[in-house]
């Protein structure tokens, strides 16, 4: 071969030139190595920021030295910026301190920073409630949310709409600990109230069939609103019992929960008879559709309005039935925020009162 003559790849047995095949393999190796390097750099950077924040907080901003420490952070920042660049401004140093305060357990942070970047943590830092922050951090880790997705979940008040947020603190802590240690997502982490269906574009007046049609048209958005791990199975699934036909509005499967999920759509307020209808569907599915390695099916009754006292007396949670409102038109963010927090406090008060009554009954 004369100097300067280009290499001509010959075709191999599989129909692909050996050089092309080799080039494809090498590209894969390079891209994988680059991604691993980026991940390692991000993890090292996040750990460095945590260590810096923890050291400043412990050495300078804690206890009797707090006033002294606050004065010298600016001096410390000027020196670090001069030596290492703009990443160590006073504002950033204080953010690192906030990071160490928000996540004081180094072992937990070490688990998180393998999947979460510093940009993820920056989105979490403004959250002032520990359970709220832990929920988003763990779900972000397990689900692999991007920074944008995390921001959208926080803006949509995902945690405040979960069934988990309405439980007593002890149960929330237990569920989050299980999520952290085993990566198991419980139904209370997935089920919501209310469901935000403004993307359906429905007006004030519509029929249940209109709601169902709109959901099917916007199925991808509806699946995102339902939560992690949902996939569509059937619409108007026919089941036959004693020669009578019944139709399940929407049937989904959740791979995280490993169970079928029935969604029944109701135009008006919740009615007690909806419980019997849903229980019939769930028991039929448990008997004829559930695989050996799956959990019992769940039911979600979506209503335009709820009657909380009726729902509480019917003890629907024990039946695997979740009742939730849906909102086709969103109220102003401050109104939604206030309503959700009122619902959380009301639900917690009822649960704690119920537990207190049960405890008194046991001691009598």
Q: Helix 219-226 vs helix 208-217: angle between axes, to the nearest 10 degrees?
A: 100
> What DSSP string describes 175-206?
HHHHHHHH-PPPHHHH-BSSEE-GGG---S--
Asked if 269 and 262 touch (Cβ cutoff 8 Å), the reply is no
Residue corresponding to tokens 């290499």: 7
Q: At 49, is the pLDDT very low, low, confident or very high (cuts 50, 70, 90)?
A: very high
Averaged pLDDT for residues 184-207: 87
Whose CA is closest to 225, among 137, 134, 302, 165? Answer: 302
pLDDT digits (tens, 9 = 90+) for 313-323: 888 877 899 99
- Note the pLDDT of residue 35: 81
Asked if 359 and 229 touch (Cβ cutoff 8 Å), the reply is no
- Paired strand residues for 251: 234, 262
Asked if 281 and 262 touch (Cβ cutoff 8 Å), the reply is yes
Q: Name, in order, each residue with C-beta under 8 angstroms of 297's C-beta and a sequence gap of 6 or more.
A: 259, 260, 261, 262, 282, 285, 286, 289, 290, 320
Q: At 30, is the pLDDT very low, low, confident or very high (cuts 50, 70, 90)?
A: confident
Count of CB atoms situated within 10 Å of the CB of 342: 10
pLDDT digits (tens, 9 = 90+) for 292-302: 999 999 999 99
Give the Cα separation of 235 and 249 in Å (integer).
6
Residue corresponding to tokens 């410390």: 76
Beta strands 321-327 and 230-241 are: unpaired
pLDDT digits (tens, 9 = 90+) for 69-128: 667 788 889 999 999 998 899 999 999 999 999 999 999 998 898 889 999 999 999 998
Beta strands 259-265 and 244-254 are: antiparallel
CA atoms within 13 A on the CB side of 4: 0
Q: What's CA 186's distance to the chain center, in Å?
A: 11
More confident residue, 245 or 11: 245
Q: Please report the sign of the dihedral spanned by the C-alpha atoms of residue 214, residue 218, residue 223, residue 227.
A: negative
């Amino acid at each position: 071969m004369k100097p300067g003559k280009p290499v001509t790849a010959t075709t191999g047995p599989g129909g692909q030139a050996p050089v092309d095949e080799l080039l494809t393999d090498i590209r894969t190796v390079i891209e994988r190595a680059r991604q691993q390097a980026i991940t390692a750099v991000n993890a090292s950077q996040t750990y460095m920021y945590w260590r810096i924040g923890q050291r400043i907080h412990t050495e300078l901003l804690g206890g009797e030295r707090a006033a002294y420490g606050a004065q010298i952070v600016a001096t410390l920042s000027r020196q670090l910026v001069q030596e290492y660049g703009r990443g160590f401004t006073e504002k950033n140093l204080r953010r690192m301190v906030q990071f160490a305060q928000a996540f004081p357990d180094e072992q937990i942070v070490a688990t998180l920073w393998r999947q979460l970047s510093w940009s993820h943590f920056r989105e979490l830092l403004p959250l002032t409630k520990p359970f709220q922050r832990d929920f988003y951090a763990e779900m972000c880790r397990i689900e692999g949310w991007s920074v944008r997705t995390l921001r959208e979940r926080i803006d949509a008040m995902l945690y405040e709409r979960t069934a988990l947020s309405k439980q007593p603190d002890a149960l929330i802590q237990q569920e989050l600990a299980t999520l952290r240690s085993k990566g198991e997502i419980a139904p209370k982490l997935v089920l919501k109230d209310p469901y935000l269906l403004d993307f359906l574009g429905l007006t004030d007046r519509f029929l249940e069939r209109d709601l169902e049609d709109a959901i099917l048209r916007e199925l991808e958005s509806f699946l995102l609103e339902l939560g992690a791990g949902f996939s569509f199975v059937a619409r108007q699934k026919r089941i036959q019992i004693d020669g009578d036909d019944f139709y399940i509005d929407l049937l989904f499967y959740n791979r995280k929960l490993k169970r079928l999920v029935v969604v029944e759509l109701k135009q008006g307020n919740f009615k007690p008879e909806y419980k019997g209808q849903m229980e019939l569907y769930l028991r039929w599915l448990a008997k004829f559709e559930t695989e050996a390695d799956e959990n019992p099916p769940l039911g979600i009754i979506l209503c335009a309005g709820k009657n909380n006292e009726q729902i509480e007396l019917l003890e629907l949670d024990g039946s695997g039935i979740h009742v939730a409102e849906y909102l086709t038109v969103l109220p102003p963010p401050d109104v939604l925020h206030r309503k959700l927090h009122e619902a959380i406090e009301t639900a917690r008060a009822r649960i704690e009162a119920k537990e207190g009554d049960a405890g008194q009954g046991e001691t009598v």
